[in-house]
């Protein structure tokens, strides 16, 4: 059986890079994309491939998917980890920033699904994981556009899982809490039950579980890894 391959969108820094390292440790071949050369440096270290690009750019996504398929012949798992959208006071956020949030958060998830699903159908399955946020289901006025549109990602994830579950293609969301890769002040750590920030490496282990066959009966779910920040049970 050929070696399995993981494509990481947003794989240059933070949770994306940590997940790339975790998947490498699990024996996956890696393909990375990020806007800066950090993905290229990490790919060189982990003996993978990389391409600079933005998740909201369809041509960039097409290029990295094409490169991955050409190099490895398959795409078994995909992590989508996009940057933070605009913030502001709820009704002071202008229409352009709401549109920008839509472009950054939801459209890349849909675009990558359109590109990799035919490949996963051909090879008999695959797993896609979208990193979103704890505030997808407990909205925060601190992160209004993120809360709104990342809830939409969870909705799309459930619809996708219903549509392609019988084809052995899974999609889940990882909803992290405050993580050390975000350079947050200590006051955010105190919001969790554990009274500390998550380590990016901790979030990466959850992402890797969802990306791999270890979670083969989990799909359409939004899995919280927030240290107890949210109250919903």
Q: Which residue has the higher pLDDT, 181 or 112?
A: 112
pLDDT for 109-167, tens place per residue?
999 999 999 999 999 999 999 999 999 988 989 899 999 999 999 999 999 999 999 99
Beta bridge partners of 32: 8, 50
pLDDT band at 232 (very low <50, low <70, confident <90, very high): confident
CB 138 within 8 A of CB 232: yes
CA distances to 32, 47, 98, 103, 215 from 110, rounded to whole Å, are: 18, 28, 18, 10, 22
Q: Are strands 169-176 and 126-131 parallel, antiparallel or unpaired?
A: parallel
Of 3.10.580.10, 3.40.50.720, 3.40.50.1000, 3.30.300.30, the CATH number of 5-225 is 3.40.50.720
> How many residues are present in the chain?
233
pLDDT at 117: 98
pTM (2 d.p.): 0.96
Give tens-digit pLDDT for 12-51: 999 999 999 999 999 999 999 999 999 999 999 999 999 9
Instruction: Say if CB 41 and CB 110 are below 8 A apart.
Output: no
User: Is the per-residue pLDDT at 107 higher than 70?
Assistant: yes
């Amino acid at each position: 059986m050929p070696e399995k391959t993981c494509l990481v969108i947003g794989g240059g820094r933070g949770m994306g890079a940590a997940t790339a390292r975790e998947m490498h440790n699990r024996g996956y071949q890696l393909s990375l994309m990020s806007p800066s050369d950090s993905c290229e440096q990490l790919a060189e270290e982990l003996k993978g491939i990389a391409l600079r690009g933005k998740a909201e750019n369809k041509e960039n996504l097409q290029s990295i998917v094409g490169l991955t398929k050409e190099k490895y012949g398959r795409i078994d798992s995909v992590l989508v980890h996009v940057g933070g959208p605009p913030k502001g006071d709820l009704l002071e956020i202008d229409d352009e920033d709401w549109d920008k949030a839509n472009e950054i958060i939801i459209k890349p998830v849909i675009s990558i699904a359109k590109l990799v699903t035919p490949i996963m159908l051909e090879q008999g399955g695959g797993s896609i994981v979208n990193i979103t946020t704890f505030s997808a289901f407990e909205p925060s006025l601190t992160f209004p556009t993120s809360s709104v549109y990342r809830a939409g990602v969870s909705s799309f994830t459930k619809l996708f899982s219903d549509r392609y579950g019988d084809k052995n293609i899974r999609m889940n969301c990882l909803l992290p809490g405050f993580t050390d890769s975000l350079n947050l002040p200590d006051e955010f750590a105190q919001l969790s039950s554990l009274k500390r920030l998550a380590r990016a490496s901790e979030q990466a282990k959850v992402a890797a579980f969802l990306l791999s066959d270890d979670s083969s009966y989990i799909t359409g779910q939004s899995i919280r890894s927030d240290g107890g920040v949210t109250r919903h049970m």
